[in-house]
Amino acid sequence: MAVFDEVWRTVGERYYDPAMHGIDWEAERQRWRPLAAAAPNRSEFYSVLRRMLATLRDAHTRVFAPEERSEWHRPVFTSVGVFVREVEGQIVVTHVERRSDAESAGVRPGDALVSVDGEPAARLLARRLNEVPPSSSHLSAATAAAARIFDGPRDTDVSLTFAGRGGARDTKTVRLRRTLQTRTPALSVRRAEDRLAVVHFNFFTQEIAVELMRALRTRRELRDASGIVLDLRDNGGGDAEAMIDIASAFLPAGTPLGHFSDRTGATAAAPQTRRAMLLAADAVTSFEGRVAVLTGPRTASAAEIFAAALQERGRARVFGERTCGCVLAIRRRQPLADGGLLDISEMDYRTAAGRRLEGAGVTPDKTFALTRRDLFERRDPALDAALSHLKNR
């Protein structure tokens, strides 16, 4: 119970909104503490903690049991090699890992998930949606629920039925194994047509910032590029200083990137772009060419700040889908007495133009909703539009 009291007390003392969104935090303690005391095991105990924190409707304030702890930029998760999200009212495969059992079994992007171990996929998704913590952003909750649809004990099999392009006449049932995987930071660069390049990275880390600066100097695809598309569609954010370093490559030094305010309403940080990287010996490498940014529901946190900054300054046009709307800041992670971990939103954020992104996200200049047909045909209309914009500008 010391862990429960520690979580409740620390959140009450450090949460960015001292009014706790109008919630009586003392009453929440009285409501949830008996349930925590009656929890028969650690899994149920942490479930109670999550339900208490869920009353704040905040995607950043969360708790992890000791066995769930991982570095923020190397999250550990259970996977069957298939990633899904809601598309056109169905739960649709958006990505299949290469050389996975799922790929060997014939699962393809665009396939619709029909059932999981015999349970209708739509019903299971609704149940997962009730299990994930509520958020100020519907996109955040929906994305989290879809990511958990294959949840189950590690190293166990699950039976999945998919419908292909032919609908009910084109179904397949496969058995896939749940395995533990780690998502690691990665940056990729590829050349497109007419001296254009596409850069993709999934986290803002110091390593990614250094790698990108060096690529801008040394890799021909970027050094000679007239325009760059920055693909942030699966970038969940990361280190704010790394985000500032990368933004400094595309915006003049001294450009305001908004401000963070603490629970007193005072400005706790007002980041600006700079000439030199903060935590590396490398100088900032400026890119003077044209820029476009791709976003989607999984674009979150620091990635949203980055996209909004380039959009507001007129430095880049944004293509794709609205971002998560998950833009609160964690100063430091709180270790718990039993080995668990607590994240607390300690700062709110507004852009340089005064926009609050939490719950709202970044709206693209041109929106492209994902469709099953695009997935089946391996088309990427948002990327195509971004490249066309850079080419014809």
Q: Say what the pTM is.
A: 0.91
Render pLDDT for 232-263 as a digit per residue (tens, 0 to 9): 999 999 999 999 999 999 999 999 999 999 99
List pLDDT tens digits, range 42-51: 989 999 999 9
Angle (CA) 204-46-121 rounded to 5° is 75
Cα-flanking dihedrals φ and ψ of residue 49, to 5°? -60, -45
Contact 342, 328 (CB under 8 A): no
Averaged pLDDT, 15-38: 96
**Domains in the chain with CATH codes:** 2-57 (no CATH), 76-182 (2.30.42.10), 187-392 (3.90.226.10)
Q: What is the mean pLDDT of the chain?
A: 93
Q: What is the mean pLDDT of residues 278-295?
A: 90
**In the β-sheet with 62-64, what is the strand arrangement from edge to edge?**
62-64, 341-343, 334-335
Q: How many CA atoms lie within 13 A of 210 on its CB side?
A: 9
Predicted confidence at residue 59, as pLDDT, reads 83
Encoded tokens for 132: 């994930």
pLDDT value at 199 more than 90: yes
User: Does 141 have pLDDT greater than 80?
Assistant: no
User: Any bridge partners for residue 96, and if so which?
Assistant: 82
Of the candidates 303, 328, 325, 307, the residue with the CA atom closest to the CA atom of residue 316: 307
Task: Label residues 207-240 b or e (16+ Cβ within 10 Å = b).
Answer: ebbbbbbebbeebebbeebebbbbbbbbbbbbbb
| Identity of residue 240 | A
Q: Tell me what the mean pLDDT of segment 309-316 comes to.
A: 98
What is the signed CA dihedral for 64, 65, 70, 75, rounded to 10 degrees? -60
Kindly state the average pLDDT of the residues 299-313: 97
- Residue 133 pLDDT grade (very low, low, confident, very high; cuts 50, 70, 90): low
Please give the Cα distance from 7 to 9 (Å, whole number).
Answer: 6
